[in-house]
Amino acid sequence: MASLRCFLRSGRNAVSVILRREFHKTSPAALQVTVRDALNQAMDEELERDERVFLLGEEVAQYDGAYKVSRGLWKKYGDKRIIDTPITEMGFAGIAVGAAMAGLRPICEFMTFNFSMQAIDQVINSAAKTYYMSAGVAAQHSQCFAAWYGHCPGLKVISPWSAEDAKGLLKSAIRDDNPVVVLENELMYGVPFEMSEEAQSKDFTIPIGKAKVERQGSHITLVSHSRMVGHCLDAAAVLAKEGIECEVINLRTIRPMDIDTIEASVMKTNHLITVEGGWPQFGVGAEICARIMEGQAFNYLDAPAIRVTGVDIPMPYAKILEDHSTPQIKDIIFSVKKTLNV
Partner 1 sequence: MQKMLTIISNVLRGSASRNGTRVVVSARTYADFTPQATFDIKKCDLHRLEEGPPQQAVLTREEGLQYYRTMQTMRRMELKADQLYKQKIIRGFCHLYDGQSLTDSSQEACAVGIEAGINLTDHLITAYRAHGYTLTRGGTVREILAELTGRRGGIAKGKGGSMHMYTKNFYGGNGIVGAQVPLGAGVALACKYQEKNELCVCLYGDGAANQGQIFETYNMASLWKLPCIFICENNKYGMGTSVERAAASTDYYKRGDFIPGLRVDGMDVLCVREATKFAAEHCRSGKGPILMELQTYRYHGHSMSDPGISYRTREEIQEVRSKSDPISMLKDRMLNNNMASVEELKEIDVEVRKEIEDAAQFATTDPEPPLDDLCNHLFYNDPPIEVRGTNPWTKLKSVS
Q: Which residues are catalytic?
A: 89, 141
By CB under 8 A, residue 322 contacts partner 1: no
Q: Given candidates 29, 104, 264, 301, which one binds partner 1 under the rule CB under 8 A?
A: 104
By CB under 8 A, residue 153 contacts partner 1: yes
Site string for partner 1, 225-264 (x = CB under 8 A): -------------------------------x--------
Q: How far apart are CA 156 and CA 256, in angstroms?
A: 6
| Total chain residues near partner 1 (CB under 8 A) | 42
Q: How far apart are CA 248 and CA 211, in angstroms?
A: 11
By CB under 8 A, residue 62 contacts partner 1: no
Residue 52 beta carbon to partner 1: minimum distance, rounded to whole angstroms: 8
By CB under 8 A, residue 95 contacts partner 1: yes
Residue 161 beta carbon to partner 1: minimum distance, rounded to whole angstroms: 24
Provide φ and ψ at 156, rounded to 5°. Answer: -110, 145
Site string for partner 1, 257-296 (x = CB under 8 A): -------------------------------------xx-
Q: Which alpha helices (DSSP H) does the chain contain, by range?
A: 2-21, 35-49, 73-81, 89-101, 113-121, 129-133, 146-150, 163-175, 197-200, 227-240, 259-269, 284-294, 319-325, 329-340
Q: Give the DSSP per-residue string, 187-252.
A: GGTT-EEEE-HHHHSTT----TT--EEEE--SSEEEEE-THHHHHHHHHHHHHHTTT--EEEEE--
Per CB under 8 A, the segment of 137-145, 171-179, 181-189, 232-240 that binds partner 1 is 171-179
By CB under 8 A, residue 100 contacts partner 1: yes
By CB under 8 A, residue 298 contacts partner 1: no
The string over 161-178, giving b where at least 16 C-beta atoms fall within 10 Å of a residue's C-beta and e elsewhere, is bbbbbbbbbbbbbbeeee
Q: Note the residues at the interface with partner 1 (CB under 8 A).
A: 54, 80, 83, 85-86, 88, 90-104, 106, 121-122, 125-126, 130-136, 153-154, 156, 176-178, 256, 294-295
